[in-house]
Amino acid sequence: MKGNFIDNLPKVYGIYTGGFIGFIIIMAIAEQMGMTAKAIGIAFVAFTVFIYALIGWLSRTAQADAYYVAGRQVPTVFNGMATAADWMSGASFVAMAGGIYFKGYGYMALLVGWTGGYVLVASLLAPYLRKFGCYTVPDFIGTRYGGNLARFSAVVVLTVASFTYVTAQINATGTIASVALDIPFQYAVYIGLISILLCSMLGGMRGVTWTQVAQYIVLIIAYLLPVFWISNKIGAGFFPHFMLADEVARIGELEQQFGFVKNAAADLKSVPKGLAGITKAHSAVNATPWAFISLALAMMMGTASLPHVMMRYFTTPSVKAARKSVGWSLFFIFLLYSSAPMLATLSKLSLIDPNLPTGIIGKTFAEVEAIDWYQNWNQANLMFISDFNGNGTLELNEFFMGGKAVVLATPEIAGLPYVISGLVAAGGMAAAMSTADGLILAIANAISHDVYYKIIDPKAETAKRLLVARVLLVVIGFAGATIAAMEIQGILGSVIWAFDFAMSGLFFPLVLGVWWKRANRQGAIAGMLGGLAAGTWYLVWVRTGGSGFLGITQLTFGIFGSAVSLVLMVVVSLMTTEPDKATQKMVDDVRVPSGKTILGKSH
Amino acid sequence: MSNQQKHWEKTRSLLFITLAIWFVFSIGIFLFGAEMNKVTGPFGYPWTYWFTCQGSLGAFVILIFWFANRQEKIDEEFGFSEREDE
């Protein structure tokens, strides 16, 4: 079955995609026949989660290399899809278009940062770490630099970064489950968590790989279908990516016409928390070069340091395949990221253009309040209007919306059938689940492989190691869900922090481990712990009223952390003795693709 | 210089070229964001807006595939490419 399964992948996922499209059509027919919106939402989420769980169960394994690196036989293109799903989280799916809608250019630094980072992954790290043959990222650090302290420091950085990230994803899963299934958020979080664990617990990396491919297919259909449909429906062009220039220009005109009126602080108090108005130009450059570049740079270096992404490239059959696979990953990510600004444009134009039937700016309050979708989303706390100047008509500055509404509500605003909204909910769920799975697995694998097996009990048998790995998976999942249920930080904020933490502690120790032979254990430990500490200190300092310096904000604190990490690593390495001959030989071997991996097939 | 040193030398120059192109599309052009946005670019979008939506993103995709092909050629040239059975 196994070799057979790999050969048959295109067929298996072809049938799966056809089946999913068939399911959408059946739902569309059911809607026409009177199925309620609520039932459609439940059907979409339940059906897709059931499929993922089934894949998770079919991928169960008792072998270490299947559990940790999917047996290293995932073909290039499929690994690209899995990485894209692993990468694109609830934040990318649900929040990104909203961010672009509200903040325009300054926010689009994230688009550049979250794609440009893959150039660093492909050229600096992925092929070399694949050649190394490690199971986890700390496995590389621990073997390259030697010693338990180096290994443990890497586990610490990995855990801090990934855990910050995973709470946001479980939060997103819970939000979508609570909307689609109509249950309170506190319970929905745990339903989301159980769905996540069903994918990863039995099959480890193998299970996660094949569910992530399935999740990518769902999420990309769910994102692209509405964008194309809306664009065609409002007559903006049949291929939005190439045809929205007039619409972008039209938004600019309307912004001029309406003006950005600043609301009084007292008026803004009445606006529900989390909702915002349009206060920034759509396509104009509204950020300083450094604000834009520093955010993009932080996200790029963070991308190259996040273990859940890096470990996807451990699963390819060869070094060559790892490189190509990074290209495919970015291609699949590109499909969604290049569509987000188009969705933001279509959404904004539908709402503010008085010439379109859906436009609400300039209508009277009574008219807007009578619209069905306005009532629904107002009830869901994602839309709000208030007549600040008392003239009875809605102005641009009197309309407020939640960031999530851009993706979740636009299909309904544009008058698409409810089946599309159900599809979008399933897509958001797939995006959040796939990322959460990758992250929980990264943490659990690092602790079970690097702390338990390599440091505590090196003689443990495979069965026991995998048992520990699975118990940790559940424990970390529940810890994440518990914190997610408290809703401390918004989804997007936590995601950006995770990148900064990862780059503070891991970027230079990883890169220099391959590219600088002289880098040694002492330097790496100083770089990891010093970088993480410096970054964390800066974040706390800015959060508690510190002024910051060089324009580094709480969203880009990783730039400071990684700079400290680099300096410490170089200085401490040069002050201490150079690595021994065996380590230097190891680095030489990593640099060529041919020959055996540094670490054995099973270790 | 041994075969392996020459291989690494070439690999390193490829890295520098790749990073230079990466720098242009991720950082370089955004130094001139405000100026560049006044000019109409591909498909009628303003240039800077187009780069943030599609241009830079697409350039990264092409860059990675180009890099992977070049690196494979270098590996083959020095006899370090992987055999199928490995």
- How close, in Å, is residue A102 to chain B by CA atoms? 15
Measure CB to CB from residue A116 to each of B14, B26, B32 and give the nearest one: B26
Q: What does DSSP assign to residue B46?
A: B
Mean pLDDT of A86-105: 87
B18 contacts A115? CB cut-off 8 A: no
* CATH code of the domain covering residue A43: 1.20.1730.10
The predicted model gives A232-257 an average pLDDT of 84
What single DSSP character describes residue A57?
Answer: H
Chain B neighbors of A591, CB-CB under 8 A? 4, 7-8, 11
CB pairs under 8 A between A and B: 145
Count of structural domains within chain A: 1
Total residue length of chain B: 86
Mean pLDDT of A136-152: 89
Cβ contacts of A120 on chain B, cutoff 8 Å: 22
Average pLDDT over residues A27-42: 88
Cβ of B56 and A116 within 8 Å? yes
A304 in any annotated domain: yes
From B18, B44, B81, residue closest to A594, measured CB to CB: B81
Are the C-beta atoms of A411 and A233 separated by less than 8 Å?
no
For residue A534, name the pLDDT band (cuts at 50, 70, 90): very high
Nearest residue of B to residue A299, measured between CA atoms:
B26
C-alpha radius of gyration, chain A, whole number: 24
Measured between CA atoms, the residue of chain B closest to residue A107 is B52
Instruction: Tell me how crowded residue A233 is: count the other CB atoms within 10 A of its CB.
Output: 15
Pull the structure tokens for residue A18. 């056809």
Q: How far is CA A531 from CA A293, A493, A541, A569, in A?
A: 21, 20, 15, 9
Q: CA of A90 to nearest chain B CA: how many angstroms apart? A: 20
In this complex, which of B18, B30, B53 lies closest to A119 when CB atoms are compared?
Answer: B18
As a whole number of angstroms, the distance between CA A8 and CA A126 comes to: 26
Q: Which of A148-162, A329-343, A359-373 is predicted with the least confidence, judged by mean pLDDT?
A: A359-373
Residue A424 near residue A225, CB atoms below 8 Å: no
A389 within a domain of the structure (yes/no): no
Nearest CA in chain A to B40: A245
Least trusted range by pLDDT, from A193-197, A208-212, A308-312, A507-511:
A193-197
Residue A519 has pLDDT above 50, yes or no: yes
Domain of residue A490 covers 2-246+282-345+417-590
pLDDT value, residue A62: 81
Query: Percentage of chain A with pLDDT > 90?
Result: 31
Among the partner residues A111, A127, A245, nearest to B52 by beta-carbon distance: A111
Q: Give the pLDDT band of residue A219 (cuts 50, 70, 90).
A: very high
Which of A119, A227, A313 to mutate: most B Cβ within 10 Å? A119
ipTM: 0.94
Identify whether A363 is part of a domain.
no
Residue B64 confidence class, pLDDT cut points 50, 70, 90: very high
Predicted confidence band of residue B84 (pLDDT cuts 50, 70, 90): low
B86:A318 CB<8 A:
yes
Position A489 confidence tier, pLDDT thresholds 50, 70, 90: low
Q: What is the mean pLDDT of chain A?
A: 87
For residue A160, which of A561, A557, A499, A541 has the smallest C-alpha distance?
Answer: A499
Any domain includes A399: no
Q: Calculate how close chain B gets to A27, using CA atoms only, in Å.
A: 33
In a domain, A410, yes or no: no
> What does the pLDDT average to over B40-53?
88
What integer is the mean pLDDT of A291-319?
A: 92
Residue A8, SS3?
A: coil
CA atoms of A470 and A127, how far apart (whole Å): 28
Mutate to test the interface with B, among A87, A105, A285 (most CBs of B within 10 A): A285
Count Cα atoms within 13 angstroms, Cβ side, for A70. 29
**A410, pLDDT greater than 90:** no
Burial label for A347, CB within 10 Å (0-12, 13-18, 19+), is buried
In B, minimum Cα distance to A591 occurs at: B8
Are B33 and A285 inside 8 Å of each other by CB?
yes
Mean pLDDT is lowest, of A254-263, A411-420, A525-534, B9-18, for A254-263
* Banded pLDDT at B25 (limits 50, 70, 90): very high
- What is the rounded radius of gyration, in angstroms, for the C-alpha atoms of chain B? 18
Q: Is residue A251 part of a domain?
A: no
Helix (H, G, I), strand (E, B) or coil at A58: helix
Among A265-274, A442-451, A498-507, the minimum mean pLDDT is found in: A265-274
Residue B85: is its pLDDT beyond 50?
no
Task: Verify whether the Cβ–Cβ distance A123 to B82 is below 8 Å.
Answer: no
For residue B58, give the chain A residue with the closest CA: A334
**Mean pLDDT to the nearest integer, B51-64:** 93
User: Which tokens sit at B8?
Assistant: 């690494």
Q: Tell me if A390 is assigned to some domain.
A: no
Torsion of CA A163, A167, A169, A170, to 10 degrees: 130
Please compute the mean of the pLDDT values over residues A204-219 and round it to a whole number: 90
